[in-house]
Amino acid sequence: MHHVSQCIATHYGQESVEDPLPDGGSGNISRVYVVLRPAVPADAAFLTEMLVEAAFWRADGPHRSVDDVSRQPELAHYVAGWPRPTDLGVVAEVGHPVGTAWLRLFTASDPGYGFVNVATPEVSMGVVREWRGRGIGARLLDALVTAAREADLTALSLSVEPDNYARRLYERVGFRQVGQVGGSLTMLLGL
């Protein structure tokens, strides 16, 4: 964990972004500082909240509760027992958490949606709805990819629906489609 902290502190400091609820809603634009830090065991509940946001990202689509997701093994395994020894994560804060990106290894007998192989961790990411569109996801993903490289990982995978706006971010970072499962794309980034 210390290695991840050092990587994030070295490459990322505070950056300002537009506050989605400026000045109590008066219309005056304000800026706030986003701080990136390593995800720690106390972040497990927030990661679960962001897993819900990632899985049910459509504003007009169905939405589930944390309890619903926790009862679905195919989703719950992304955060159950956080952190495992090989997990790596980053949290964005503006005085409180507003987004996170993390990676986790899966087995062939219990694969994630973006499973490629047992040596390739799968990325999950979520940003609080009100904070989307401000570059927080890009900062989180950049920090996670940097930390993964410094941890000597060779690749990262993920799963994304073709019409999810995050797909463009993943492609800009270098993820490429390597498969399709159901209605989702499996993407891979070589490090």
Q: What is the CA radius of gyration of the chain?
A: 16
- Identify the pLDDT of residue 72: 81
- Identify the pLDDT of residue 27: 55
Burial class (CB in 10 A: 0-12, 13-18, 19+), 56: middle
- Note the pTM of the prediction, 2 decimals: 0.84
Closest among 21, 37, 41 to 29, alpha carbons compared: 21
Q: Report residue 91's pLDDT band, with 50, 70 and 90 as the boundaries.
A: very high
Query: How far apart (Å, rounded) are the C-alpha atoms in residues 145 and 190?
Result: 10
- Centre a 10 Å sphere on the Cβ of residue 177 and count the other Cβ atoms it contains: 14
The residue extents of the domains of the chain are: 2-104+121-153
| pLDDT of residue 148 exceeding 70 | yes
- Centre a 10 Å sphere on the Cβ of residue 19 and count the other Cβ atoms it contains: 16
Q: In residues, how long is the chain?
A: 191
Strand boundaries in 9-121, DSSP class E? 15-18, 31-38, 88-93, 97-104
Higher confidence at residue 110 or residue 62? 110
Query: How far apart (Å, rounded) are the C-alpha atoms in residues 51 and 57?
Result: 10
| pLDDT of residue 28 exceeding 60 | no
Q: Using one digit for the tens of pLDDT, what is the confidence trace for 41-64?
A: 999 999 999 999 888 776 676 677
CATH 3.40.630 describes domain 2-104+121-153: yes
For residues 132-146, give the mean pLDDT.
94
